[in-house]
Amino acid sequence: MTDNTSNTPKRVVVAMSGGVDSSVSAALLVEQGYEVIGMMMKLWAEETVDASCNTHNRCCTPEQLDDARRIADKLGIPFYVLDTKDVFRAYIVEYFLDMHRKALTPNPCIECNRHIRFTWLYENARAIDADYLATGHYARVTQDADGTYQLRKGLDEAKDQSYVLSVLTQEHLAHTLFPIGGYPKPQVREIAARFGLPTASKADSQDLCFLGDGDYRRFLREYAPEALTPGQIVLQDGTPVGEHTGLANYTVGQRKGLNVYGAVPLFVIDSDPARNALIVGPREQLGSDDLTAHRVSWISGHAPDGAIRAQVKIRYKSTPADAWITPLDDGERVHIRFDNPLRDITPGQGAVMYDGDRVLGAGIIERRPQQAPETQPSHLETASPA
Amino acid sequence: MPAPRTVYLDHSASTPCDPQVVEAMMPYFSEVYGNSSSSHSFGRKAEMAIEDARESIARVLNCKPTEIVFTSGGSESDNLAVRGAGWMQRAHGKGAHLITTPVEHSAVSAPIKQMAGLQGFKATFLPVSSEAWVDPEDLAAHLRDDTAVVSVIYANNEVGTVAPIPQLAALAHTRGALFHTDAVQAAGQLNLDVQALGVDLMSLSAHKFYGPKGVGALYIRDGLDLVSAQAGGSHERGRRAGTHNTPFIVGMAKALEIAHAEREARTAHYRAMRDLLIDGILTRVPDVLLTGHREQRLPSHASFIVRGVDSSKLLMHLDMRGVAASGGSACKTGNPEPSGVLLAMGYSPEDATGSLRLTVGHHTTADDITYAVETVRASVEKLRALAKMFAS
């Protein structure tokens, strides 16, 4: 699909950030003969105020903007900055807050690719008659004999970003280019040097770009204080062992900062937003060999009829784990049983299913149904379940 | 694939330098290169060219050559006028009250806000009508005995409204205030006779009337001992330090000469093109408003609010199809603050983000207008469909 041999060059919109990956992507496309247009999204982010009373945010700073514009100038391509603040705030920041209100741990990058990059920006690219949207992600797209498009891991597995792209559709893949997906990172820097482009990397995409200071707990205190209601820390049988400062402050597997002391070290096992309780337990209770996921999509174009074998990533940076996948509810949900238990299955994160380097599909990890507590919850019970 | 054709409709942002102007400038780069402040023959030749330019500009403005100060452009002229006159007036015990409007170019409003914020001046912003019209009665009501300077833009850069400068200036003088006007957009199109206008200070910028960028002038009425905003050498009789940019000053004078000589023919053409444009946009594009005054309007200037459309995206779509336009004033940051001018005129922030400015020039043809109108229509249609997809 990177064929560009016909007489009229295909038009490609490149999402540019001013960083090396998107700059090299744009440069490669220009070299391959595409008609390339650079676009930068000005996303919503908390604002900070500098000494000259100018407001900035960490993402899309005036410097990054100037960098991207300068690169576009050097490559001889048009460059536009699109105001994406309202739609980003509505779809991503609100999603992030809502998930934390439900004591779930969201991955905003997945939702940003789903709603912003590959829906909002994609539609804006289509509106100027672009044939493709290109990004500087480390991932690849191939086409099968049956015509379906397959999302594959970036060749540089250490940089692979297929996890956060796993929610795209066949239509997206048909119109998406990842020009650097076939290069290892050091070679991308070499290409940047060859084109005379800056070689510095932007922050990794798992960063929460909309935070003023990178501290999501502080962000929640300001924007969703209700997600930080103190409550009880309990054992799985309901026995209270301490107080927590708000469920959103903890992640599954966490041990430090609990301020509870037992005969054995205690870890965060789960949380129960219905009772605003944080559930802890000894190491043996941590981890599980199964999960269910909802909002499942099958990017491969083939929803399985029955159980299949796959490797599953339960976080952006986790190692793929062998598992049996069983579709539920006509493929809208899946049950995943791992060959070996995993310690840090976190509700709200993406469960991305692979066949080798090929992404099959993805869903969002559901909260495990709560076991009935043996003792009644305290006065800190919250009224509404998630 | 390059755009099929290009149509430049952003003459309020800048105009192409006239080839006759370029020709007039050429000797002053490498042949006549002396510093006009030097006493030797090289310097004298440069000084000669500069003083000829000053006289030429003075003829157009109907003033004395000594009343012209050369600057680096409109923004510097505005800063020198507002600060220099404000500081002078206060030093002379006149007072520290400044009057301006909420529809000024930022080169006037920003120094005034700075003087109010840091230097103890008081600033009054007059109300404006929904057409950006400044009513002389409002000025009369706000003038005080301690009013030092009144500054009102001659022709508004965003919405093209032309202010009643002679009346406003006369009113300011009844209370002993100095009157400044930013005539950057007006120059080349409107009457620049400072006696008829009755102004004390007037800013010009060459690149708005087919001259080079980076050079401007400030008219300063005789007898006003302005405090220099840029201190240093004794250039421009101590009012503006810095070596003269001989070729650009020569170019500006040449450009103003041509603009003045051809003013009637040019503005007739601008008006014809502008009216085609306004009629075309208002009849072919649904839910669009003309902003600014219908009659008291700069001949080259058409400005609109396109409802439900993000101006920066519209500009991108127009650019993709070769039409160069503006959102009201230059903004390429993707961080569009709704225009303060449109808000002051009473438009909602939503409406203000849909501003579109199209300004014609003397190369603009009726064909260009037809192409531009159709391009705006098609782009707006696409963007409205797109906006519907993401309406929350």
- Domain CATH code at residue B166: 3.40.640.10
| Residue of chain A minimizing CA distance to B320 | A128
Q: What pLDDT sits at residue A4? A: 53
Quote the CA–CA distance of B323 and A230 in Å, as a whole number: 58
Start-to-end CA distance of chain A, whole Å, equals: 44
B335 and B228 fall within a common domain:
no
B240 and B304 fall within a common domain:
no
In a domain, A343, yes or no: yes
A54 and A179 fall within a common domain:
yes
Question: Which residue among B261, B282, B299 closes a domain?
Answer: B261
A22 and A165 fall within a common domain:
yes
**Phi/psi at B199 (5° precision):** -85, 160
Answer whether B303's CB lies under 8 Å from B311's CB. Answer: no
Q: What is the CATH number of the domain that holds A319?
A: 2.40.30.10
B271 and B217 fall within a common domain:
no
Quote the CA–CA distance of A219 and A209 in Å, as a whole number: 12
Q: What pLDDT sits at residue A384? A: 41
Quote the CA–CA distance of A230 and B389 in Å, as a whole number: 40
Average pLDDT over residues B220-245: 91
Provide the 3-class DSSP secondary structure of residue B279: helix
Q: What pLDDT sits at residue B230? A: 87
In a domain, A62, yes or no: yes
B100 and B184 fall within a common domain:
yes
Distance from the Cα of residue B159 to its chain's centroid: 11
In a domain, B1, yes or no: no
- Look up A60 and say whether it is catalytic: no
In a domain, B233, yes or no: yes
Biggest distance spanned by C-alpha atoms of chain A? 74
| Per-residue tokens: A48 | 């900070």
A161 and A262 fall within a common domain:
no
Task: Write the DSSP symbol of residue B74.
Answer: H
In a domain, B171, yes or no: yes
Q: What is the CATH number of the domain that holds A53?
A: 3.40.50.620
Interface list for A 113-142 with B (CB within 8 A): 120, 123-124, 127-128
Tell me which residue has tokens 């006159």: B85
Q: Which residues of A touch B386 (CB under 8 A)?
A: 123-124, 127
B305 and B254 fall within a common domain:
no
Q: Which residues of A touch B385 (CB under 8 A)?
A: 127
**What string of pLDDT tens digits covers the 386 residues of chain A?**
445 555 789 999 999 988 899 999 999 999 999 999 999 998 888 876 655 545 555 666 778 888 899 999 999 999 999 989 889 999 999 999 999 999 999 999 999 999 999 999 999 999 999 999 999 999 999 999 999 999 999 999 999 999 999 999 999 999 999 999 999 999 999 999 999 887 666 544 446 788 877 788 888 999 999 989 999 999 989 899 999 999 999 988 898 888 887 788 999 999 999 999 999 999 888 889 999 999 999 999 999 999 999 999 999 999 999 999 999 987 799 999 999 999 889 999 999 999 999 999 999 999 988 655 444 444 443 334 33
Domain of residue B291 covers 7-15+263-389
Tell me which residue has tokens 């597997």: A253
Quote the CA–CA distance of A95 and B151 in Å, as a whole number: 49
CA distances from A22 to A66, A202, B1 (A): 14, 10, 22
Tell me which residue has tokens 């049956």: A146
Q: What pLDDT sits at residue B326? A: 94
Question: Which residue among A194, A220, A249 closes a domain?
Answer: A194
Q: Does A82 touch chain B (CB under 8 A)?
A: yes
Distance from the Cα of residue B300 to its chain's centroid: 12
B82 and B135 fall within a common domain:
yes
A245 and A171 fall within a common domain:
no
Distance from the Cα of residue B268 to its chain's centroid: 20
In a domain, A4, yes or no: no
Domain of residue A269 covers 229-386
A245 and A103 fall within a common domain:
no
In a domain, B2, yes or no: no
Candidates B17, B290, B331, B343; catalytic one = B331
Q: Which pTM was predicted?
A: 0.87
Q: Side chain identity at B383, as an amino acid letter?
A: L
Alpha carbon of B9: minimum distance to chain A alpha carbons (Å): 18
What is the b/e burial string over A227-243, where b = at least 16 CB atoms within 10 angstroms of the residue's CB? bbbebbbbbbebebbee
Residues B72-131 pLDDT 10s: 999 999 999 999 999 999 999 999 999 999 999 999 999 999 999 999 999 999 999 999
Q: Which residues of B touch A40 (CB under 8 A)?
A: 334
B150 and B298 fall within a common domain:
no
In a domain, B338, yes or no: yes
Q: What is the CATH number of the domain that holds B327?
A: 3.90.1150.10
- ipTM for the whole predicted complex goes beyond 0.90: no
Q: Does B330 touch chain A (CB under 8 A)?
A: no
Question: Which residue among B261, B281, B305 closes a domain?
Answer: B261
Q: Which of B334, B386, B390 sits opposite A81 (nearest CB)?
A: B334
In a domain, A371, yes or no: yes
Structural domain count of chain B: 2
B78 and B205 fall within a common domain:
yes
In a domain, A199, yes or no: no
Q: What pLDDT sits at residue B391? A: 76
**Phi/psi at B5 (5° precision):** -155, 160
Q: What pLDDT sits at residue B20? A: 98
| Residue of chain A minimizing CA distance to B384 | A127
B42 and B136 fall within a common domain:
yes
In a domain, A172, yes or no: yes
Structural domain count of chain A: 2
Counting Cα atoms < 13 Å in the Cβ hemisphere of A133 gives 23
Provide the 3-class DSSP secondary structure of residue A313: strand
Provide the 3-class DSSP secondary structure of residue B319: helix
In a domain, A211, yes or no: no
pLDDT range class, residue B23, cuts 50, 70, 90: very high
In a domain, A215, yes or no: no
Answer whether B187's CB lies under 8 Å from B256's CB. Answer: yes
Q: Which residues of B touch A81 (CB under 8 A)?
A: 312, 332-335
Provide the 3-class DSSP secondary structure of residue A65: helix
A291 and A153 fall within a common domain:
no
B187 and B289 fall within a common domain:
no
B62 and B173 fall within a common domain:
yes
Alpha carbon of B327: minimum distance to chain A alpha carbons (Å): 14
Among candidate residues B199, B188, B193, the one with its CA nearest the CA of residue B252:
B188
A258 and A184 fall within a common domain:
no
Q: What pLDDT sits at residue B234? A: 85
Of A137-151, A277-291, B132-146, B363-377, least confident by mean pLDDT is A277-291
Question: Which residue among A173, A194, A215 closes a domain?
Answer: A194
Alpha carbon of A2: minimum distance to chain B alpha carbons (Å): 18
> What mean pLDDT is reported for chain B?
95
B253 and B293 fall within a common domain:
no
In a domain, B378, yes or no: yes
